[in-house]
Chains A and B, each alone.
Chain A
């Protein structure tokens, strides 16, 4: 008997738009000691599935059908009081946002002890002792001290470890992990994923992993279920799943992933967007976006088709009765063309458009009665970059390394406290505001959050027009109107959308509007600050394609700020890796990806979960967290975490070592 058996689960949410069938007839099993992953893009119902299992739905939600059997006991038939005995004891859950999921005013120890006192006979000091063991077991250093600290004193990774310790306290047989590392940095993600995998093996727990990231799923799961629009569409063992995904949607997900081997070409995208779950579906839910759909897909809900190895898929293509026809459809669509016009996208390096030398952005820390400046947060501390027209420079680093600040300081949105920024030879840092304004048309920015970057009170047309009006680049109403229409078409929207408001658009469309707004003033340098990290993979592919295409046709230079190595691999020409305010390594994308020199770069690249688990380099798990830029370690900032640390690392910051070409690294290993 399976540890967990979910049978025909249906969950509805009531919203202003009507009844949202967030989970619609979902069935799966999780065996003891097995990790089952629910994979899907945002809004497909995977988190709602998890919350339904715990019966922790938001006020507007309710489970309307199905069974959830934990060890054969139907959880949905339990009273609320009985269910409380199950939660935290037999099944526990960790959530996506460790920052908000812990109670900010209770100490970490208190929050763990609470579970112990609720579910085990341990009370008082015994419970505290056990909490100490748990905190130790999840790899938190100095556990005795940490136990009395409050969540705000811990880093994101530490908080997630505390969440895990809390979940383990009741010794549950099933652990539900809802996007456990989405809010964390890559190197911290590697730590937490390693920990989860190890705990699950050691304790022989069942684990239900919920994730949108194929890489993470590949690393942790034994079996995978793909969700789309509230239902499961494919279930398979990991090996079979990654070797030969069957459902067209899964195919598309794989094809949309940016990968180095796709560098020259365009990524595959899924047209349209996930249908709202208020719809009543009459056929396959993916039919509208499926390149292989035919009439039957729109009329008849596909049944499950199970292959001999247990690989199940919900698609008419695999209906044995339609072998002939579906075979034809399969054949017709299995050609996934990649255009390979590599030449056009990487023009030779010419005179630099942007030259940044020793850029510094320090923020004062004030203390004491008279608020004297007691120190500096050195968010950006001596960054040098070069960028030429038509090229993409990726500024790579984890959150808090100062990459966004560097981008804003280059654009003079923040006035740098030191160093120089030259745009076509003109020094920007000393430029008077009027002169700087004139130059603003040449450099624009695209932001991360597609929801925060468009004024919700302005129409799309006005948003795009703003820059033209402020910088007076297109004279006359009619000329501007023409340009707006042109731009909307250019970024793949239609001119008819100019009268609408941002909230009527999806995340990907909003990002297109933001790009159109930046393009409106015909810039030559575009700073892209994580423009795709808030988007789903399939939408990310659309935006990456667009950016690439714009660069090819307009010859733009991109300063691409990101933490996502996969995107860098696909898009960038050059890479600068940043750690704690400084660039530790620079070079072309091939050089760095193939042969990382700096130990941090090495660890960063190894920490990215890969699809083909066999081809994964051994993950270098870094110790601890990134230190605070207000108080960086002496010597090389990286040395306390560095696996190859040497005595001199603690003494001085290594100078830049040139390794030929544009390649340079700051590490004593190469001096």
Chain B
């Protein structure tokens, strides 16, 4: 088990290096810092001095990979690649365009993001799995048919509609909760309840349908027939036999996103003015703050890799056949 984890972590390293090289290429090779400066300062005649100043402010005034001018190790370390990409590995993200420390921002914004993402994740999982079980139990009846129709309809609606429509209805027409904003402590619940509900509802359609497919696939297997041949009731078959087997494919899709909950939700956070990492990312994208986007890309891939590892580990909980080595 430990050997397995160690090996997986070793495998993760080349992936992170790949992600790093990719972002480096994207941010510094496809477009030179000069290009970016010109674009940010306005395409029209910008003076070379202004460009130089812009680059210096952000630490982009160094060579990309190899610094001829520097001494010793500095030839390698005093470069954009080392300063901006390699340092990500020690979670040193540098400063955003507004001068704030990105690492600090991420730490403070993680809380509000989790406050939305975790309830959405747990509630959503519970609700969709329950719905899917109900549909699977009543398979090939009208309830199942219309349930699936409802799922398809719900997954055909844009998530923007859920957010805009929900906000309009609940906050503006019914005045049940504040339209947007955030407060610390218990007060937060007032602000969180609507975004949580909306995110959950937006995900019901596709998840329910997906889980229903998994359940039906399991119900068609031989061991279910054996269970029925024992004289078990349909409920016992569903909960004792099918559910446990279905957890294996369900976990594949579910566990991998758990670490990514830290990243928050882009749309919901920005609509509801919640100061989480999602809205941070959106603001950075809109402000074209490349340092922040780069940091988020790196964190995202780290979390994804952790998710993959967790997925594999979670199999050992539900599938006795899996022995990690």
Direct contact of A and B (CB under 8 A): yes
In this assembly, does B91 line the interface, its C-beta being within 8 Å of a C-beta of chain A?
no
Contact A87 B230 (CB under 8 A): yes
The one of B10, B231, B318, B319 in contact with A369, judged by C-beta atoms closer than 8 angstroms, is B10
- A98 CB to nearest B CB, Å: 9
Q: A56-B228, A84-B232, A369-B7 are in contact. Are A105 and B222 (CB under 8 A)?
A: no
Task: Report how far A87 CA is from B232 CA in the complex, Å.
Answer: 8
Which residues of the other chain, B, contact A115 by a CB distance below 8 angstroms? Answer: 230-231
Contact B320 A105 (CB under 8 A): yes
Q: A95-B226, A163-B226 are in contact. Are A152 and B321 (CB under 8 A)?
A: yes
Taking CB atoms and an 8 Å cut-off, the chain B residues in 211-244 that contact chain A are 221-223, 225-233, 240-241, 244
Which residues of the other chain, B, contact A85 by a CB distance below 8 angstroms? Answer: 231
Contact A103 B231 (CB under 8 A): no
Closest partner residue, chain A, to B5 (CB atom): A369
Task: Report how far A93 CA is from B228 CA in the complex, Å.
Answer: 10
In this assembly, does B3 line the interface, its C-beta being within 8 Å of a C-beta of chain A?
yes
Contact B229 A88 (CB under 8 A): yes
Which residues of the other chain, A, contact B319 by a CB distance below 8 angstroms? Answer: 104-105
Q: A59-B140, A152-B321 are in contact. Are A104 and B223 (CB under 8 A)?
A: yes
The one of B232, B248, B320 in contact with A150, judged by C-beta atoms closer than 8 angstroms, is B320
Q: A104-B245, A105-B318, A105-B320 are in contact. Are A114 and B225 (CB under 8 A)?
A: no
In this assembly, does A89 line the interface, its C-beta being within 8 Å of a C-beta of chain B?
yes
Q: A101-B222, A104-B245 are in contact. Are A86 and B231 (CB under 8 A)?
A: yes
Contact B321 A369 (CB under 8 A): no
Task: Report how far A118 CA is from B231 CA in the complex, Å.
Answer: 8
Query: What is the 8 Å Cβ interface bit string for chain B, positions 1-18, against chain A (1 contact, 0 not)?
Result: 001001100100000000
Task: Report how far A104 CA is from B248 CA in the complex, Å.
Answer: 11
Contact B222 A87 (CB under 8 A): no
Which residues of the other chain, A, contact B140 by a CB distance below 8 angstroms? Answer: 59
In this assembly, does B286 line the interface, its C-beta being within 8 Å of a C-beta of chain A?
no
Which residues of the other chain, B, contact A256 by a CB distance below 8 angstroms? Answer: none
Which residues of the other chain, A, contact B232 by a CB distance below 8 angstroms? Answer: 84, 88, 114, 118
Contact A103 B241 (CB under 8 A): yes
Task: Report how far A323 CA is from B43 CA in the complex, Å.
Answer: 108
Task: Report how far A367 CA is from B229 CA in the complex, Å.
Answer: 41
In this assembly, does A71 line the interface, its C-beta being within 8 Å of a C-beta of chain B?
no
In this assembly, does A102 line the interface, its C-beta being within 8 Å of a C-beta of chain B?
yes
Task: Report how far A93 CA is from B229 CA in the complex, Å.
Answer: 7
Contact B230 A103 (CB under 8 A): no
In this assembly, does A123 line the interface, its C-beta being within 8 Å of a C-beta of chain B?
no
Which residues of the other chain, B, contact A170 by a CB distance below 8 angstroms? Answer: 230-231
In this assembly, does A92 line the interface, its C-beta being within 8 Å of a C-beta of chain B?
yes
Contact B3 A100 (CB under 8 A): no
Contact B321 A150 (CB under 8 A): yes
The one of A102, A118, A152 in contact with B223, judged by C-beta atoms closer than 8 angstroms, is A102
Taking CB atoms and an 8 Å cut-off, the chain B residues in 1-56 that contact chain A are 3, 6-7, 10
In this assembly, does A14 line the interface, its C-beta being within 8 Å of a C-beta of chain B?
no
Query: What is the 8 Å Cβ interface bit string for chain A, positions 33-58, against chain B (1 contact, 0 not)?
Result: 00000000000000000000010100
In this assembly, does B156 line the interface, its C-beta being within 8 Å of a C-beta of chain A?
no
In this assembly, does B158 line the interface, its C-beta being within 8 Å of a C-beta of chain A?
no
- A500 CB to nearest B CB, Å: 30
Which residues of the other chain, A, contact B223 by a CB distance below 8 angstroms? Answer: 100-104
- B320 CB to nearest A CB, Å: 4
In this assembly, does A25 line the interface, its C-beta being within 8 Å of a C-beta of chain B?
no
Task: Report how far A103 CA is from B321 CA in the complex, Å.
Answer: 12
Contact B3 A369 (CB under 8 A): yes
Contact B244 A106 (CB under 8 A): yes
Task: Report how far A329 CA is from B10 CA in the complex, Å.
Answer: 80
Task: Report how far A102 CA is from B226 CA in the complex, Å.
Answer: 7
Taking CB atoms and an 8 Å cut-off, the chain B residues in 243-261 that contact chain A are 244-245, 248
Which residues of the other chain, A, contact B244 by a CB distance below 8 angstroms? Answer: 103, 105-106
Q: Of residues B6, B223, B229, B241, which shows the largest number of chain A Cβ atoms within 10 Å of its Cβ?
A: B229
Q: Of residues B10, B223, B241, which shows the largest number of chain A Cβ atoms within 10 Å of its Cβ?
A: B223
Q: A97-B222, A105-B245 are in contact. Are A89 and B231 (CB under 8 A)?
A: yes
Task: Report how far A84 CA is from B231 CA in the complex, Å.
Answer: 4
9 contacts between A and B (CB under 8 A): A88-B230, A88-B232, A92-B230, A95-B225, A101-B223, A104-B245, A152-B320, A170-B230, A369-B6
Extra 15 A-B pairs, beta carbons < 8 Å, given A81-B233, A89-B231, A104-B320:
A54-B229, A84-B232, A84-B233, A85-B231, A88-B231, A100-B221, A100-B222, A101-B226, A103-B227, A104-B245, A105-B319, A105-B320, A150-B321, A152-B321, A369-B10
Q: 10 shortest A-B CB distances, which residue pairs?
A: A88-B231, A87-B231, A100-B222, A88-B230, A150-B320, A103-B223, A84-B231, A101-B222, A152-B321, A101-B226
Chain A contact residues, CB within 8 Å of chain B: 54, 56, 59, 81, 84-89, 92-93, 95, 97, 100-107, 114-115, 118-119, 150, 152, 163, 166, 170, 367-371
Chain B contact residues, CB within 8 Å of chain A: 3, 6-7, 10, 140, 221-223, 225-233, 240-241, 244-245, 248, 318-321, 325
